[in-house]
Amino acid sequence: MKTEMKKNKGAAKEAKASTNSPSVINSGSFDAGAIIKKPRITEKSGIKAESEGVYTFEITAVATKKTVAKAIKELYKVDAVKVNITKLPSKKVFAKGKKGSMSGVKKAVVFLKKGDKIAFI
- Where along the chain do its domains lie? 29-112
Tell me the CATH architecture of domain 29-112.
Answer: 2-Layer Sandwich (3.30)
Report pLDDT for 73: 93
pLDDT tens digit sequence for 67-95: 999 999 999 999 999 999 999 999 999 99
Contact 77, 41 (CB under 8 A): no
SS3 4: helix
Contact 88, 105 (CB under 8 A): yes
| Chain centroid offset of residue 3 CA | 38
Instruction: Supply the DSSP symbol for 96.
Output: T
The tens place of each residue's pLDDT in the chain, 121 residues long, gives 455 555 555 444 444 444 344 555 555 567 888 999 999 999 999 999 999 999 999 999 999 999 999 999 999 999 999 999 999 999 999 999 999 999 999 999 999 998 899 987 6
Q: How many CB atoms lie within 10 A of CB 10?
A: 10
Give the Cα separation of 105 and 73 in Å (integer): 22
Contact 83, 108 (CB under 8 A): yes
pTM greater than the 0.85 cutoff: no
